[in-house]
Structure 1
Amino acid sequence: MSKLSGKVAIVTGGASGIGNTIVTRLINAGIKVAVADLNEQKLKELEEQHKGNLIGCVTNVTVEKDIEQLVQKTVDTFGGLDYAFNVAGASRSGLIIEQSEEDWDFTVDLILKGVFLSVKHQARYMKDHGGGAIVNVASLNAHVPMFYGAAYSSAKAGVEMLTKNAALELAQYNIRVNAILPGLVSTPLTKGLTDNKEVVNAYKERIPMRRPADPDEMAGPALFLVSDDASYVNGTGLVVDGAWEVSGYPDLSKFI
């Protein structure tokens, strides 16, 4: 990680969860970071904590103008952009026959459109400035469906394919694009699951490592994918799930 020192990165969804642990790892590695999030108060706290090394940018990743401004502010402040981590995401769950169009659009736009717009403008800068590396956060649910998660799973599958397509198109500009696919991770967004003992036990039955991941266990693989050690890794989706994918997915329908 010491080889990353002096670089510049963007992290969307960096105010909490996986995104925030990536931010911490980047700062500790000597990287300047622009954090994009809607949590303005948390962004101010991060700026105060890491004065001179971090800027907070209130950003709606589904709004193209916001992403353009994010990239421009990063470049204006730190002089460039080398890496990007597109983590922002959330979902509104529901059975297919019951889910509203509004909830479907919210989930798919935030997860898939948000990554599309982010990659588009991050890569536009990198293309003209020697290249870079991008990591998108998809999910194990890109491969494995779950009850009440059709919108989320479909959008995350789209993120993985978008990652592959971006790698195909952008390799000629020395831009690598990869994804990580987390399993169950203990974050504020999964608190409703991880605080329910019965649900957690159902997950543990399917996860050979018998526990949810800590967010920092996602940050390590994410930083690896932008590092020189991954210089020939491009267009891949790295599953980080404690061997969950090989065991199957729990039936969550009995808990709702």
Structure 2
Amino acid sequence: MRLDGTSAIITGGTRGLGRTIAESFLAEGANVVCAARNPYDVKELIDRHPGRALYQRTDVTDEDSVAELMEAAVAAFGRIDVLVNNAGVSRDGTISRLSTADWNTTVATNLNGVFLCTRAAIRPMQAQGGGRIINLSSCVASRAVAGAAAYSASKAAVEMFTRASALELAHKGITVNCLSPGYIDEGMGKQVAADDRVWESYRKRLLSGRLGRPEEVGAAAVFLAASDSSYVNGHVLEVNGGLQWAA
């Protein structure tokens, strides 16, 4: 129970990797606020962990909504020990076809949302003596992919924001790290694996020869949230099975 008694906020925590991270945290004893625009099937998770999990409707691109999230977490659990900035969207398209609206939506959620949530968490974390912030990036933050300019650029910015935040917040007792998943058996990764021809080209790039399991990302998030990682700060932890971009 490495997170026993701690309180965590996970944005985008009602489905996908955010939901898996929430389950991993709960299994390690944490209290968890699953924040997202939509609840999806999070009620099932809440019912399994009465009094330890709750849903807060949140738009990470809205400053007031983010403030309400922080207030709700403190009201429910008394403190905010861990913030996982997981909420994200992808609007794929070549640059010549990418609309301004899709670019702005991607940046607003993937980058501005991380900034707003991080800034809002500083005061309560500092008041209690510190905390952990974990930002979600992606393998395409450091590897160029045609048709993913908006998503890749936003995630690359998240990695640099992580390093800058770690530098600024260390003296407040707050560590800031980044988790960078590769091709996981969830969402985009599952879609890639569903096409045999496409999957074969990607499989050869993975030293592990397989998709990652969502639980493996959850385990890495637990590590960054727990005392095990107390001397890790400003780091981008890749969980990608040894992804090699050139096969």
Shared fold, TM over 0.5? yes
Q: Does 1:62 align with 2:67?
A: no
What is the number of residues matched between the two proteins? 247
2:42, 2:23 → 1: CA distance? 13
Please show how residues 160-199 of structure 1 align to structure 2 within 5 Å: 160-199=159-198
Report the RMSD for the aligned CA atoms in angstroms. Answer: 1.4
Check 1:20–1:249 CA distance in 2 against 1; reply closer, same or farther (3 A cut): farther
1:97 positional shift: 1.2
- In 2, Cα distance between equivalents of 1:148 and 1:249: 18
Secondary structure of the residue aligned to 1:206 is coil
8 A contact 1:179–1:236 mirrored in 2:
yes
Distance 2:143 2:31 in 1: 35
Q: Does 1:101 align with 2:100?
A: yes
Residue identity in the other structure for 1:58 = R
Supply the AA of the counterpart residue of 2:206: I
Q: Distance in 2 between matches of 1:38 and 1:176?
A: 27
Question: Offset of 1:42 from its aligned partner?
Answer: 2.2
Q: Contact (CA 8 Å) 2:14, 2:40: kept in 1 or not?
A: no
> How has the CA–CA distance of structure 1 residues 44 and 249 changed in structure 2, closer, same or farther, with 3 Å as cutoff?
farther
**SS at 1:10 equivalent:** strand
Unaligned residue ranges in structure 1 (runs of 5+): 251-256
**Unmatched 5+ stretches in structure 2:** none
Residue 32 of structure 2 aligns with an amino acid whose one-letter code is V
**Contact kept in structure 2, 1:134 and 1:176, CA below 8 Å:** yes
Q: Is the 8 A contact 1:144 1:249 kept in 2?
A: no
TM-score by length of 1: 0.92
Q: How far 1:31 sits from its partner (Å)?
A: 0.8
Deviations, residues 84-111 of structure 1 (Å, cap 9, x unaligned): 1111112110001111111111111111
Counterpart contact for 1:12–1:37, Cα < 8 Å: yes
> 2:116 — aligned with what?
117
Note if 1:25 corresponds to 2:24: yes
- Cross-structure match for 1:253: none
Look up the equivalent residue of 2:153 and give its one-letter code. Answer: S
Is 1:129 the counterpart of 2:128? The answer is yes
Instruction: Give CA deviations for 1:180-213 in whole Å, capped at 9, x if unaligned.
Output: 1111112135443232222211110211111111
Matching residue of 2:74:
75
Cα distance in 2 between the residues matched to 1:164 and 1:8? 24
